[in-house]
Amino acid sequence: MIRSFCGEYQCAADTKGRLMIPSKMRELFPQGESIILVRSLDRCINLYTEEKWRFFEEKIALLPETESRDVRRFFYASMQDVEPDSQGRILLPVQLRAFAGIQKSVVVLGCGDHAEIWDEESYRDYTGENRTASIEEILKRNGL
């Protein structure tokens, strides 16, 4: 079994802002633990397991105070912990939906240590840009 978040899934948020997490991703969230939601730098919502969020928090704590203030404000002001209901749905808080521009159609994608929820149109615009060249440059620069 793959132990990292991967794949791209077309989903829909209902009128109450509930979203069914794809079953392949639900398996990666430990039973009985919250899912941590925070805004992303890319105008989407990041989903973390509690373990991965704690790891991220530890890294933030190592930053110098002068650098960490804005980082802490950005992430902690938006952070929500949610629990899936019996059907595997989570409620996307209003402020996070507004931040990401989520209406109804969404894309949930795996990013290794976390997942992302995007408004479908925003995601298509983002991926429609020619990103291949910049990704190739990053890989080359890092010997990959």
Q: Is the residue at 35 inside a domain?
A: yes
Q: Is the residue at 2 inside a domain?
A: no
Q: Is the residue at 44 inside a domain?
A: yes
Q: Is the residue at 125 inside a domain?
A: yes
Beta-bridged to residue 107, according to DSSP, are: 10, 118
Please give the mean pLDDT across all residues of the chain. 91
Among 97, 122, 84, CA closest to 16: 97
- Give the number of domains in the chain: 1
Q: Is the residue at 3 inside a domain?
A: no
Quickly count: other Cβ atoms within 10 Å of residue 84's Cβ: 19
Q: Is the residue at 120 inside a domain?
A: yes
Greater pLDDT, 31 or 9: 9
Q: Is the residue at 1 inside a domain?
A: no
CB neighbour class for 52 (10 Å; exposed up to 12, middle 13-18, buried from 19): middle
* Band (129; pLDDT cuts 50, 70, 90): low
Say yes or no to pLDDT of 2 above 60: no
Whole-number pLDDT of residue 75: 93
Quickly count: other Cβ atoms within 10 Å of residue 91's Cβ: 19
CA atoms within 13 A on the CB side of 125: 10
Whole-number pLDDT of residue 130: 64
* Band (141; pLDDT cuts 50, 70, 90): confident
Q: Is the residue at 29 inside a domain?
A: yes
CATH of the domain at 76: 3.40.1550.20
Containing structural domain, residue 94: 8-141
